[in-house]
Amino acid sequence: MPVKNRFAELLPDITAIRRDLHENPEILFETHRTSAIVADKLKAFGCDEVVTGIGRTGVVGVIKGKANTSGKTIGLRADMDALPIHEQTGLEYASKTDGAMHACGHDGHTAMLLGAAQYLAETRNFDGTVVVIFQPAEEGGGGGREMCEDGMMDRWSIDEVYGMHNWPGRPVGSFAIRPGAFFAATDQFDIVIEGKGGHAAKPQETVDSTLVAAHCVTALQSIASRNADPVDQVVVSVTSIESSSKAFNVIAQRVAMKGTVRTMSKNMRDLAETRLKAICTGVAETFGATAEVTYHRGYPCMVNHDEQTAFAAEVARAVSGDCDDAPLVMGGEDFAFMLEERPGAYILVGNGDSASVHHPEYNFNDDAIPAGCSWWAEIVEQRLKVA
């Protein structure tokens, strides 16, 4: 069960689609052109049903097998959106949209799933139904949640769902996966320190909000070092600090901070939120200031299901010859919402020695296309095997 020959034949066409998407990136839910191309391709492939507008701009295609004695439906998901980054690759097919680029490889994910959909629609060598899911707004918009809230899982009676992401630094076309918690919950916070501004030469007449903010930044690191169980992962990062003073001789009245919290368990997520609020309000009170803390819960932890993970790894080994144990990833992934509704698994496919994702010089490696397409196709043909 190696890489399928059909995908070697389709590689030029799939690559052309991928590079066209790369050249014309769209962010969040604004994937109108991308979604239209996906829908048109699925119709041309002969899908039994193509529905647009799921999760605002998501697209769903339905492919029925040559038999349906199993009564089962498998979902395959790819993300379509780009990032608000100015591309610096110098490629001939580089982004034509200033300030937007496919810096995470979603163009490759979309193209690979289109390739798999074409093959599955041609062969239909499976017993059941396949639903190919093309999702907008993975990069912070929660498109996966929106597609689920639109009733996608129940509407097409999806039993299991599988996703994939390219991974720079891994050999091209190789795979890695892990059961259980895989990608972190991604939360954000806003902290506003209110002190008493004044002249920098008379600090005794002020409550220095900048000093308070500095103590908060330091104290927040105690969540990981002193509150958390050392074997339970947590990252607390203050990523933005802005004071109300723009002058060298004025102590600021107010300082605003932003940041993110990454966790791998519900208990740690709850603990981090509680401690963050307590630390900031307590530190501020110590200095005579106040702290207003707003905590925003983002994507939940993405958790692979054990049985489906073992199966996904078995298919990956058959396609590429091996499947490594993947590390925990403190980045977020809104495929988590789909895995909360249905059992399934998410796998990494190697992108080779490329720039990292979210970097202005990143580019998806087209040489990974046959392996990625083959994995998706084999997930279907082996899970819904014709008797």
How far is residue 216's CA from residue 284's CA, in Å, rounded to a whole number? 8
Annotation says 138 is catalytic? yes
Cβ burial, residue 353 (10 Å; 0-12/13-18/19+) = exposed
Task: Please calculate the CA angle 62-26-87 and round it to the nearest 5 degrees.
Answer: 130
Give the H/E segment covering residue 258.
strand 254-263
Give the H/E segment covering residue 188.
strand 185-194
104 marked ligand binding residue? yes
**Closest Cα to residue 109, out of 74, 78, 137?**
78
What residue spans of the chain are helical by DSSP H?
5-23, 32-45, 106-123, 143-149, 152-155, 209-220, 222, 266-286, 306-320, 335-341, 369-383
Question: One of 30, 138, 208, 381 is an active-site residue; which one?
Answer: 138
How far is residue 331's CA from residue 346's CA, in Å, rounded to a whole number? 14
Calculate the alpha carbon distances from 361 to 90, 255, 334 in Å: 8, 34, 24
How far is residue 127's CA from residue 68's CA, in Å, rounded to a whole number? 5
How far is residue 338's CA from residue 341's CA, in Å, rounded to a whole number? 5
Annotation says 30 is catalytic? no
Task: Please give the torsion angle defined by the CA atoms of residues 320, 322, 325 and 329, in that order, rounded to the nearest 10 degrees.
Answer: -20
Question: One of 30, 81, 87, 159 is an active-site residue; which one?
Answer: 81
106 marked ligand binding residue? yes
DSSP at 301 = P
The 10 Å CB-count burial string (b at 16+, else e) for 329-350 is bbebbbbbbbbebbebbbbbbb
205 marked ligand binding residue? no
Antiparallel, parallel or unpaired: β 73-79 and 49-54:
unpaired
How far is residue 59's CA from residue 190's CA, in Å, rounded to a whole number? 34
Q: State the catalytic residues.
A: 81, 138
Known binding residues for Mn(2+): 104, 106, 139, 165, 358
Known binding residues: 104, 106, 139, 165, 358
